[in-house]
Amino acid sequence: MPQLPTPSPFPQFLNAACAFVIARDHNRIVVLFGMDNSRRRGMDRRRRPTPLLSRFTFRGGRRAQNRRREEQQFYYVDRIRKGLATALVAIFVFHVLDAVLTIRHLERGGSELNPLMDALLQIDNGLFLVVKLGLAGVGLFLLGLHQNFPHVRTAVTVLFGLFLALVGYHIVLIAVA
């Protein structure tokens, strides 16, 4: 009878493509359902946490919540929770309203208090809109990716309140003028 290979160690069972292994163990034949590392390409992606920007950032992935006990608090996500996404979109809409109402306020003789935005407005209104909304969009996107980090929910709540108040202030300025 031909000699059969010895069984693979059990941990190998956990890291590669599935395969059946027939092995001889102390004069008996054993069929193990195991893993075959020969088909694996590259490093196991599960050995490190999902990075801030990865191939799953824009095209999605499965992880909206973490299932690993060791990463319960700080981890990036592939999908932003619906409630947080709704709040972030609302804050972005407040940014758009703030930008449009700022331009309208300036047309009526008002002034911009932010020196950076004032310098951009002196150059071009379109440049002002692109920079203001671009910075807002990137910042809100990064907040969404960090949804499971400390203080992000508090920051989103504070931003929502501040920009709601700012839009209300703009509406009062327009009503008074």
pLDDT tens sequence across 60-109: 554 545 555 555 566 666 677 888 889 999 999 999 999 999 999 888 88
98 in helix, strand or coil? helix
CA proximity to 147, closest of 66, 47, 33, 42: 66
Element containing residue 33 per DSSP (H, E)? strand 29-36
- The count of residues in the chain is 177
Q: How many CA atoms lie within 13 A of 153 on its CB side?
A: 4
Terminal CA-to-CA distance of the chain, rounded, Å?
Answer: 99
CA–CA distances in Å: residue 72 to residues 51, 67, 69:
16, 8, 5
Cross-strand partners of 24: 29
**If pLDDT is split at 50, 70 and 90, which confidence band does 19 have?**
very low
Lowest mean pLDDT of 96-100, 125-129, 143-147, name the range. 143-147
